[in-house]
Amino acid sequence: MKARLPTGGEIQRDQPLSFTFNGRALQGYAGDTLASALLANGIHRVNRSIKLHRPRGIIGRGPEEPNALLQIGMGAHSLADQRATQVPLQAGLTAQSVNGWPGLGFDVLAVFDRAAKLMPAGFYYKTFMGPTGWWERYERVIRPAAGMGKVPDGPDPDRYEKRYLHCSVLVVGGGVAGLTAALALGRSGVPVVLANEDTAFGGALRASRASLDGQPARSWVAGVVAELEAMAHVQLLAATSVFGHYDQHFLGAIQRFDGVDGESPIRERFWKIRCERLVLAGGAIERPIAFANNDRPGVMTASAVREYIERYAVLPGRSAVVFTNNDSAYATAYSLIDAGARVTLVDSRATPSPAAAQARAAGIHIHQGAQVDNTRGRLHIRSARIRRADGGHDTLDCDLLAVSGGWNPSVHLYSHARGELRWDDELASFVAGNDLAGVSAIGAMAGTFDTGDAMRDALAAADRIAQTLGHASAEITPPVVENAEPGPTRLEPLWLVAGTGPAFVDLQNDVKASDLKLALREGYRSIEHVKRYSVLGFGTDQGKLGNILGLGIVSELLASHPAEIGTTTYRPAWSPVTFGALVGGDTGALFDPVRVTPMHAWHVARGAVFEDVGQWKRARYYPRAGEDMDAAVARECLATRDGVGVLDYSTLGKIDIQGPDAVTLLERVYVNNWQKLAIGRCRYGLMLDENGMVLDDGVTARLGETHYLMTTSTGGAARVMAWLEQWLQTEWPDLDVSLTSVTDQWATVSLAGPHSRDLIRRLGTDIDLDADAFGFMSIRTGNVAGAPARVQRVSFTGELGFEISVPADYGAALLEAVFEAGEPFGVTPYGTEAMHVMRAEKGFIIVGQDTDGSISPLDLGMAAMVSARKDCIGRRSLARSELRRPDRPQWVGLLPDDPNQVIPEGAQIVGGDPVGHSGQTPMLGWVTSSYYAPRLGYAFALGFVNGGRDRQGDRLYAWDLETGPIPLTVTAPARYDLEGSRQNV
Amino acid sequence: MSTVPRPWRTDMLTIHCPWCGPRDETEFSYGGEADIARPAAPDGLSDAAWADYLFMRTNPKGWHCEQWNHAHGCRRWFKAERHTVTYEIRVTWPMHREQP
Ligand SMILES: [Zn+2]
């Protein structure tokens, strides 16, 4: 490891780890990040840039990294676009560059760089605008060229979880400010959660040479962390990135275990955090300076260079140029020198600061008032050209260029919740304002870079919070801080150095200063528009390095103050969030509950094909060998007509209604009359919403004096229950009536066909089944096949029918008994498809298939059902002129000329010759249900036609894209056994 | 981490059900403006008066009296006063009681 220093750093030299990068076997240590391990092996260059395919190296040290986005792991475990600066090194880790074909050193697509002048900002918009539909073609070429990472080749095998977390105070950021605040709150007895994005707490202190009360910074951090860990009311979340701050103290965070805790069964945990008070201590990120060819491998931020030396014992270069416009980079120069590197300082400020004078006294060569205006080196920086204060040029050979253009407070989380950002002229950047209730921003994020000041701010904030929550101050005396690295003091803004060559502002998106100039030339002024035009800050790094730099350049070009240009609002996520974490365990079988009836195993054993109805699995048809759906459905329908068919009807919604006012409730929610329904009788009811549109339908039976059983459609059960509850609670609290959902308590077997009565007799029952004793639309209670049962004599198929309901646990046994007893009658199971076909032959609606929330009973031809005697929900709306319009869509039957042609459902109905001279024809209606009807012996459909009831006999067409016009005749909806002679026997 | 109960503010993301106490917003469903009384005799109303009941709401920018349902909890409806700009809910109370 040629760049590893012999001593120092936090790496565990007794734990070497092997890993590979682009197939090369390499070694690092526990405590390394992938980035520090690569640098230790002398590897800077890790990728090609996304648009111009320029060689790119590691530039940063954390979430700001725009270049080192690598493919980690293999196969289904593979993860795309992982920031090497945040990936903890693990034994056996495999990392791969995403861009660069056939290899990093020689990239065919680097021709884009030569052609850069031909691909300015807005290139994609302008070039790929049209013609319509062509984007899909361009995309096929652009995507692979643009290096978006590789999709894993299988479903994610890793586990994730979601958790809620409630706390009094959440502190985001475990640097000096966040640690101090958490310590003070903890000592005050306030329940605190401290989230830290890095695996190790301490923030900038981890790479600092400062001492606190005489202790090395890292020892001080270790002491504070140990104390916090010992507090029962404090929770530390390491390796946890708080990615979003939403309304009223709701925050989202991702805790990573991958590479952090080898024992963890989960890869990541998604925390949904609600806190009463929020302390934001997000720190700051050093920003670069735009100059020609500022993107070569070996150009890094000064603070990253220092962190690699101090924390990871990696020397990123032996011959360094440090280019700065403020004091903070001087600490980097000292770290480099102490690590054995040669250092030349280029300080753009005309007047030397005390830090410069000190460095000069220490023997460091400083070019005061000079600027780096270009670099050389094809695959790695070889030299930096500087323009001296006197205007002349020098060339400095180097293999590392450490740059500091100042620091940007990480105000993102403050901005997410619409907190105000304030421009700080000394920092030349935005700091968090002070306008969010219950939110305190402290430390560098609030513009306080001095370690001692940050601690004092943190203690003050913690005291205020403790007091408002009823706790005493922790009375902490801030430690004496010595030798702390300077912040960006005495900064003189420097955004763009004049020069020839591409000066990059946003490295991830290859946005150059010239692109911003172009945006302004094209007339864009708002920074929001400039950003969108140039795609500045639109990468996964969210412009952590480039946004403020771009703003500075634009303000300079427009000769106005940056605060007047305005910043964009930062939006979640602060750092990329994996879909796996957001989904958590809600995947596969756990994605949505699956409901099955007590007879489900029977259907499975009979080879049923299922369909989803809401959350229910319902048997759709039962194919025999060689049968397709049409054949199976036809057989099931005819077997029902000729013998007896059996349907599992358990999924139907069932609501038990009891109380003296039960009938009043029914009168108010159904369009028809219920006062005269006798005990033991049942009736079909139609329910509307207040706009007069059909909401649900079903049969309700009267079981006792004040006891009713309502059935609803399978899909509408929950909706109807909620609907009734809402009216009872909000509008009619005076009604003495109780509702209980009993859908799951009863299993229902529906028998249909001429032998259904005989079958129940063979099952054995104490209920008198004679037609005279048990008429159509009645309900009886008794025993069937030894089980307590309710038997309802109804018919949805048009055949003689009985629905036997038994307590759910008897369901499977009842179904078995039915098939045993039904043997002599050719008993046949039928599914929902045959049920749909048979009801259509009878002209019965299916709510949700034939209605869509815009259909009234008048449209359905069911006006006669609407009682004139009483009001009900939605009734007044039926009198509106719109609903009385004679040309409203009306429900009709549609008979195709070809008796075998099944019109596609959803087809539109048009009149006359649809291929007329204008090429247009008005739509007259649409098809809602369409089948081949086995009992009728021909195909027919149901649907809506404008004014359709008066158009019976009219010749129209159904229009389908694939089949073209289908000639048909408008008829009445009902076709089968219009006299009801088959069901009334 | 202790789980000392604290006096929760009633806010948008934690809603105080008058029956169950503070619960996550995802447990609730919204039921529109409160105190839209259903007319006693709809038949006697003009189309305009009926439309007023059906469609017209105050839609204020500011405090708004609303109906909420603890749908994934006790299933009770209650009233809440919510700010339509900040989403703050300053008070919740049972149906058919005076606003506290
Ligand atoms: Zn509740």
- A24 and A153 share a domain? yes
Same-domain pairing of A51 and A144: yes
Task: Name, in order, each residue with C-beta under 8 angstroms of A667's C-beta and a sequence gap of 6 or more.
Answer: A673, A674, A675, A870, A872
Q: What average pLDDT does chain A have?
A: 93
Asked if residue A153 and residue A114 are part of one domain, the reply reads yes
Mean pLDDT for A578-584 is: 93
Assess whether A109 and A250 both reside in one domain.
no
Residues A332 and A277 in one domain: no
Amino acid, res. A385: R
What tokens were used for A838?
């048979």
The whole-angstrom separation of Cα A607 and Cα A817 is 19
Task: Give the pLDDT confidence score for residue B2 in this predicted structure.
Answer: 33
Q: Are residues A111 and A47 in the same domain?
A: yes
B40 in A contact zone (CB under 8 Å): no
A46 and A173, same domain (yes or no): no
Beta strands in A99-256 (DSSP E): 160-172, 192-195, 211-212, 215-216, 234-237, 240-246, 250-256
> What CATH code is carried by the domain that includes residue A131?
3.10.20.440
The two beta strands, A319-324 and A342-347, are parallel
Calpha distance A827→A170 (Å, rounded): 66
Q: What's the CA gap between B51 and A880, in Å, rounded?
A: 9
Is A757 within the bounds of a domain? no
Give domain status of residue A499, yes or no: no
CATH code for the domain of A398: 3.50.50.60
How many Å lie between the centroid of ligand 1 and the Cα of residue A723?
17
Phi, psi values for residue A973, rounded to 5°: -65, -45
- DSSP letter, residue A813: H
List per-residue pLDDT tens for chain B, 100 residues long: 333 333 334 345 789 999 999 998 889 999 999 999 999 999 999 999 999 999 999 999 999 999 999 999 999 999 999 999 888 899 999 999 999 8
pLDDT surpasses 60 at A127 = no
> pLDDT (tens digit, 9 = 90+) per residue, A94-121?
999 986 554 566 666 666 666 666 556 6
Cα A248 to ligand 1 centroid, rounded to whole Å: 21
Asked whether residue A56 is assigned to any structural domain, the reply reads yes
| B4 vs A: CB within 8 A | yes
Same domain, residue pair A975 and A898: yes
Task: Please tell me the predicted confidence (pLDDT) of residue A222.
Answer: 98
For residue range A212-269, what is the model confidence (pLDDT) as tens digits?
999 999 999 999 999 999 999 999 999 999 999 998 899 999 999 988 888 889 999 9
Lookup result for tokens 């923030």: A203
Q: How many helices (H) and strands (E) does chain A have?
A: 24, 50
3-state SS, one letter per residue, for A780-797? EEEEECCEEEEEEECCCC
CA of B18 to the centre of ligand 1 (A): 7
Query: Do the beta carbons of residue A71 and residue A120 sit within 8 Å?
Result: no
- Tokens found for residue A284: 């700051």
Per-residue three-class SS string for A239-259:
CEEEEEEECCCEEEEEEECCC
- pLDDT for A553: 96
Centre of ligand 1 to C-alpha B15, Å, is: 10
Pairwise CB contact (< 8 Å): B2 & A193: no
CATH number at residue A549: 1.10.10
**Are both A276 and A418 inside the same structural domain?**
yes
Q: Is B71 on the interface with A (CB under 8 A)?
A: yes
- Stretch A423-436: mean pLDDT: 94
Nearest CB neighbour to A168, from listed B6, B24, B76: B6
Question: For residue A881, which residues of chain B lie inside 8 Å, CB to CB?
Answer: 47
Instruction: Please give the Cα distance from A686 to A712 (Å, whole number).
Output: 10
Q: Report the half-sphere exposure of A517 (CA within 13 A, side-chain side).
A: 10
Element (H, E) at B87: none
Q: Which of A1, A672, A551 is nearest to A17 (CA)?
A: A1
Of A90-104, A551-565, A671-685, A741-755, least confident by mean pLDDT is A90-104
Helix (H), strand (E), coil (C) string for A410-457: CCHHHHHCCCCEEEECCCCEEEECCCCCCEEECHHHHCCCCHHHHHHH
Query: Would A53 be classed as within a structural domain?
Result: yes
Note whether A232 contacts B: Cβ–Cβ < 8 A.
yes
**For residues A882-906, average pLDDT:** 96
- Helix H or strand E segment including A373: strand A371-376
**Could you tell me the CATH number of the domain that includes residue A899?**
2.40.30.110
DSSP symbols for A901-955: --PPTTPEEE-S-SS-TTS---EEEEEEEEEEETTTTEEEEEEEEETGGGGTT-E
Query: Percent of chain A beyond pLDDT 70?
Result: 94
Q: How far is A431 from chain B (nearest CA, A)?
A: 23
- Let me know how long chain B is: 100
Residue A90 backbone zone (phi > 0: left; psi -120 to 50: alpha; other: beta): beta
Residue A633, min C-alpha distance to chain B (Å): 39
Phi then psi dihedrals of residue A617, to 5 deg: -95, 115
* Tokens of residue A411, six digits: 């105000």
Is A191 part of the contact surface with chain B (CB cutoff 8 Å)?
yes
Q: Is A722 exposed, middle or buried (0-12, 13-18, 19+ CB in 10 A)?
A: middle
Region label for A578, one of left (φ > 0), alpha (ψ between -120 and 50) or beta (otherwise) = beta
> What is the pLDDT at residue A11?
97
* Residue in A closest to B47 by C-alpha: A880
Instruction: Assess whether pLDDT exceeds 60 at residue A456.
Output: yes
pLDDT at A932 over 60: yes
Instruction: Give the chain A residue whose CA is nearest to the CA of B43.
Output: A876
Choose one of A522, A550, A585: the last residue of a domain. A585
Q: Is A230 exposed, middle or buried (0-12, 13-18, 19+ CB in 10 A)?
A: exposed
Residue A708 has pLDDT above 50, yes or no: yes
The answer on pLDDT for A720 being more than 70 is: yes
List the alpha helices (DSSP H) in A606-698: 629-642, 662-669
Name the pLDDT band for A919 (thresholds 50, 70, 90): low
Tell me A591's DSSP state: S
CA angle, corner B52, sides to B46 and B54, nearest 5?
105
- The whole-angstrom separation of Cα A782 and Cα A767 is 6
- B chain contacts of residue A691, beta-carbon cutoff 8 Å: 54
What's the pLDDT score for residue A74? 87
- Helix, strand, coil shares of chain A, percent, nearest 5, are 25, 30, 45
Residue A568 confidence (pLDDT) above 80: no
Q: Are strands A400-404 and A319-324 parallel, antiparallel or unpaired?
A: parallel
A911 or A893, higher pLDDT: A893
Q: Considering just the CA atoms, what is the radius of gyration of chain A in Å? A: 38
Q: What are phi and psi of A213, to 5 degrees?
A: 50, 40
Model pLDDT, residue A142? 53
CB A185 within 8 A of CB A463: no
d(Cα A628, Cα A801) in Å, to the nearest integer?
27
Q: Is A882 on the interface with B (CB under 8 A)?
A: no
Are B95 and A729 within 8 A, CB to CB?
yes
Would residue A867 count as lying in a domain? Answer: no
Q: Is A867 left (phi over 0), alpha (psi -120 to 50) or beta?
A: beta
Q: What is the DSSP string of B1-51?
A: -----------SSEEEETTTEEEEGGG-EEEEES--PPPS-GGGS-HHHHH
The answer for residues whose C-beta is within 8 angstroms of residue A184's C-beta and 6 or more apart is A458, A459, A462, A463, A466, A473, A474, A476
Total CB pairs under 8 A between chain A and B: 69
How many domains would you assign to chain A? 5
Of the candidates B3, B4, B87, which has its C-beta nearest A247's C-beta?
B87
Residue B22 Cα to ligand 1 midpoint, Å, equals 9
The three-state secondary structure class of A160 is strand
The identity of residue A47, as a single letter, is N
Contacts of A193 in chain B (CB under 8 A): 1
The verdict on residue A644 lying in a domain is: no
Distance between CA atoms of A358 and A344, rounded to whole angstroms?
14
Return the minimum-mean-pLDDT range out of A198-207, A559-568, A570-579. Answer: A559-568
Q: Are residues A398 and A307 in the same domain?
A: yes
Q: Do residue A368 and residue A321 come from a single domain?
A: yes
Å from CA of A847 to ligand 1 middle: 31
Q: What is the pLDDT of residue B1?
A: 32
What's the confidence (pLDDT) of residue A777?
A: 97
CATH code for the part of the protein at B58-100: 3.30.2270.10
For residues B54 and B71, give the distance between their C-alpha atoms in angstroms, rounded to a whole number: 23
Contact state of B6 with A276 under an 8 Å Cβ cutoff: yes
Distances in whole angstroms, Cα of residue A283 to Cα of each of A32, A168, A228, A407, B62: 22, 22, 20, 10, 36
- Which residues of chain B lie closer than 8 angstroms to A166, CB-CB? 3
| Chain B closest-CA separation from residue A93 CA (Å) | 34
Q: What's the residue count for chain A?
A: 985
Q: Which domain holds residue A399?
A: 288-405
Peptide bond before residue A573 is cis, with ω within 30 degrees of 0: yes
Say if the Cβ atoms of B8 and A276 lie within 8 Å.
Answer: yes
- Greater confidence, B96 or A720? A720
Q: What is the mean pLDDT of residues A191-199?
A: 97
Structure confidence at residue A223 (pLDDT): 98
Answer yes or no: is A23 within a domain.
yes
Q: Which residue has the tokens 């700080």?
A: A424
Among A370, A405, A440, residue at a domain's last position: A405
Domain boundary at A380, A405, A430, which?
A405
Ligand 1 center to residue B82 CA distance, Å? 18
Distances (CA, A) of A896 to A510, A893, A969, A970: 61, 10, 6, 9
Using alpha carbons only, what angle is made at residue A959 by residues A955 and A963, rounded to the nearest 5 degrees?
115
A385 domain residue, yes or no: yes
Contacts of B73 in chain A (CB under 8 A): none
Distance B24 CA to ligand 1 centre (A): 11
Conformational region of residue A248, where left means phi above 0, alpha means psi within -120 to 50, and beta covers everything else:
left
Q: How far is the CA of B72 from the centre of ligand 1 (A)?
A: 8
Q: Please answer yes or no on whether A877 and B50 come within 8 Å at the CB atom.
A: yes
Contact B32/A at CB under 8 A:
no
Is there a single domain that holds both residue A508 and residue A363?
no
DSSP state of A392: -
DSSP letter for A508, please.
T
Nearest CA in chain B to A193: B1
Interhelix angle A527-534/A513-521, nearest 10 degrees: 120
Quickly count: other Cβ atoms within 10 Å of residue A574's Cβ.
25
**Candidates A876, A883, A884, A885, partner chain B, best to mutate (most B CBs within 10 A):** A876
Identify the bridge partners of residue A64 per DSSP, sorted by sequence position: none
Its pTM stands at 0.86
Q: Residue A961: what pLDDT?
A: 81
User: Can you tell me the mean pLDDT for A862-888?
Assistant: 96
